Amino acid sequence: MVLLLTLLHVFCIAEVLSCSPTMSFDGEEHWTADELDQCEMHGTEYSPNLCYAHMINYQRLNVEVLFEDPILVVFRNFASQKDVAQFLLDAKKEELSLQEVVEMNETSTTYFVSNDRLANGTFISHEGTAAISKVFKKAKAMIPFVNFEYSEDWQILSYLPGGHYRPHHDYFEYESETPLDDYTKIHGNRFATFLLVLQNAEKGGGTVFPYLRQTVLASPGDVIFWTNMRSNKELDKNSYHGACVVRKGEKVAAVLWVREKFQDLLLYPHNAGGFDFDKLINPRLKLLQGFPICK
């Protein structure tokens, strides 16, 4: 894997490329003190509200429900360790470059490198390799009420020590009513985010949701899934999230941004005006109390 670290100074460099929990990092000014504190609480065990499991196509799906509004769940052990290892191996064959941020106004869309997002990455098609295709097909089979066919290509993201992404929304906010890019005109905005963890950092690297006061640490093979919009297709402000700074090691994740087009949860919202949450976790699920998937 070739990492284009032409801006190597943006990463915290110390012995074995590690950062102490109290050491500042490039781009820290984009974070509030409270957001940073929430990131440092990643070692605290959180208790999901509910834990479910069900069988579909002879495969087990473990679901930890953190929030229902907005939807924030963790699919534990979604991909096997064998599949994760092969996915990661395929991803590391790609050339990764320093990722850009996007700025939109009424007349233009601009992409540029900024220290509020320090990560290397690339895009791979849904079925770019046999291993990647296997995970994509499993997502379609195991989470049938999310239409993954209308998602962007996989984005592979690598966060080295000092790497982070300041809190933000995945949902695109436009100054004008008409979206500027053709992809959004055709497929709609980012309905949901599907984040598969391929490799954990040794220290740091959690995913923080400041407005929910929730920092999620997932293991390789786990998926963090959340919705970015409400049932009326407007921004859900509580989906505000960030990638906490990596203090030691490397975090690698694969992300699918699911677009709003032909999404069952949007086409047939719950009578109360929100999403029909049971469709996501499946109404046939059996509540498991005290089951190890919650730990």
Residues 222-259 pLDDT 10s: 999 999 999 999 999 999 999 999 999 999 999 999 99
Nearest to residue 217, comparing CAs of 240, 201, 228?
201
User: What separation in angstroms does the CA of 28 have from each of 94, 98, 141, 164?
Assistant: 29, 18, 40, 9
Going across the sheet that includes 59-68, the strands are 2-3, 95-98, 120-124, 154-159, 251-259, 190-199, 223-227, 71-76, 59-68, 50-56, 286-287
Residue 77 CB coordination number (10 Å): 16
Does 283 have pLDDT greater than 60?
no
Assess whether pLDDT exceeds 90 at residue 91. yes
Q: Residue 271: its pLDDT value, please?
A: 61
Backbone angles phi, psi at 279, to 5 degrees: -65, -35
* Two tokens, residue 98: 């320093």
The whole-number pLDDT of residue 273 equals 65
**So what's the pLDDT on residue 60?**
87
Q: What percent of the chain has pLDDT over 70?
A: 81
Domain containing residue 143: CATH number: 2.60.120.620
Q: Is position 23 within any domain?
A: no
Distance CA 88, CA 199 (A): 8
Please answer whether residues 164 and 23 qualify as being in contact, where contact means their C-beta atoms are separated by less than 8 angstroms.
no
Range of the domain at 125: 52-279
pLDDT score at 290:
40
Q: Is residue 190 part of a domain?
A: yes
> For 104-118, 222-236, 257-271, which range has the lowest pLDDT when averaged over its residues?
104-118
Q: Is the pLDDT of residue 134 over 80?
A: yes
Mean pLDDT for the chain overall: 84
* Within-domain flag for 16: no
pLDDT in tens, 165-185: 999 999 998 776 665 678 888
pLDDT of residue 59: 86
pTM of the predicted model over 0.95: no
Q: Which of 3-7, 33-37, 191-195, 262-266 has the lowest mean pLDDT?
A: 3-7
In a domain, 36, yes or no: no
Instruction: Write the pLDDT tens digit of every residue in 182-227.
Output: 888 899 999 999 999 999 999 999 999 999 999 999 999 999 999 9
114 found inside a domain: yes
Closest CA to 66 of 86, 53, 81, 47: 47
Q: For a pLDDT cut of 90, what percent of the chain falls above it?
A: 62
Gap between the Cα atoms of 209 and 226, Å rounded: 10
Name the pLDDT band for 121 (thresholds 50, 70, 90).
Answer: very high
d(C-alpha 280, C-alpha 272), whole Å = 16
Q: Is residue 63 part of a domain?
A: yes
Task: Judge whether 124 lies within some domain.
Answer: yes
Residues near 218 by beta carbon (within 8 Å), at least 6 away in sequence: 74, 195, 197, 200, 207, 224
The residue with tokens 């982070």 is 164
Q: How many domains does the chain have?
A: 1
Task: Note whether residue 126 is domain-resident.
Answer: yes
